[in-house]
Amino acid sequence: MAVPAPDPLAVRAASFEELHRLGVPCPPDTFPLVWEPEDQVGLRPTGELEARAAILHVVLERCFDMPAEAAVGWLDANKLLPDVTQPEWEWITEEVGDRQSFALHLDALAGLAWTLGVIKVLDPLHPPIRLMELFPDLLGGEDFEQWRARTLAAPRDPTVVAAALDLHYCLDWSFQQLEAAGQPVPGELNANAIGQRRWALEWAVVFTGDYHDPPGGWEEVDLST
């Protein structure tokens, strides 16, 4: 259900305050806002968020040598194959693509886990501990519905997720600037990890307003700005 989006200027001020706390540079004042004052904000349906998280979990398990047949069998048995993207399918079935690039999805999974309320904190300095254990035990035979019953996801308020998206939008710029200048970033995460979290949040949040297109697919998320 869509609700009025929070004041984007107040959210941006809070994001900059957090950047100052972390000791990273802030984007210029002309850095685009993510939404406009009159926009509405919601989240994708819970089942869609859970399905995307489960698929990313399978992709990651393939990075750690889960057999292709087992991965495809699990997705098929749980009726998730239609939601697998073409690059994901090629990786899962034939290992086409860069293993390291798919392994980076661990932080996208963290972003979805936080959005679903599966983890309590999305720390910009540290990765979550034992994240993969919070998702289906694929080789142990746990199916998608059993995992959903075990997890009991409670998605966060969309205004809170929108604020987190704005923060990660700014952090993405900050970390890229630091790395381009050869300067260290704070904590254990790098620009790639922050970008993956932003990817998940961009996909999960749905804005409606004069300047927003209908929500697109996972591979259609634009991280170029």
Q: Roughly how many angstroms between the first and final C-alpha of the chain, as a whole number? A: 28
Number of residues that make up the chain: 225
pTM of the model: 0.96
Which is nearest to 218 in space by CA: 141, 115, 109, 96?
Answer: 109
Q: Which residues pair with 208 in a beta bridge?
A: 40
Helix (H) or strand (E) holding 42: strand 40-43
CB 41 within 8 A of CB 206: yes
Backbone φ/ψ region at 129: left (φ over 0), alpha (ψ -120 to 50), beta:
beta
pLDDT of amino acid 139: 87
The pLDDT of residue 173 is 98
Q: What does the pLDDT profile of the chain (225 residues) look like in tens digits?
A: 899 999 999 999 999 999 999 999 999 999 999 999 999 999 999 999 999 999 999 999 999 999 999 999 999 999 999 999 999 999 999 999 999 999 999 999 999 999 999 999 999 999 999 999 999 999 899 999 999 999 999 999 999 999 999 999 999 999 999 999 999 999 999 999 999 999 999 999 999 999 999 999 999 999 988
Which value, to the nearest 10 degrees, does the dihedral of the CA atoms of residues 196, 198, 204, 209 take?
Answer: -150
Q: Which amino acid makes up residue 191?
A: A
How many angstroms separate the Cα of 215 from the Cα of each of 47, 60, 67, 190, 225?
16, 25, 33, 27, 18
Confirm if 155 and 43 have CB atoms less than 8 A apart. yes
| Closest by Cα among 78, 17, 21 to 53 | 78
Furthest-apart CA pair in the chain: how many Å? 51
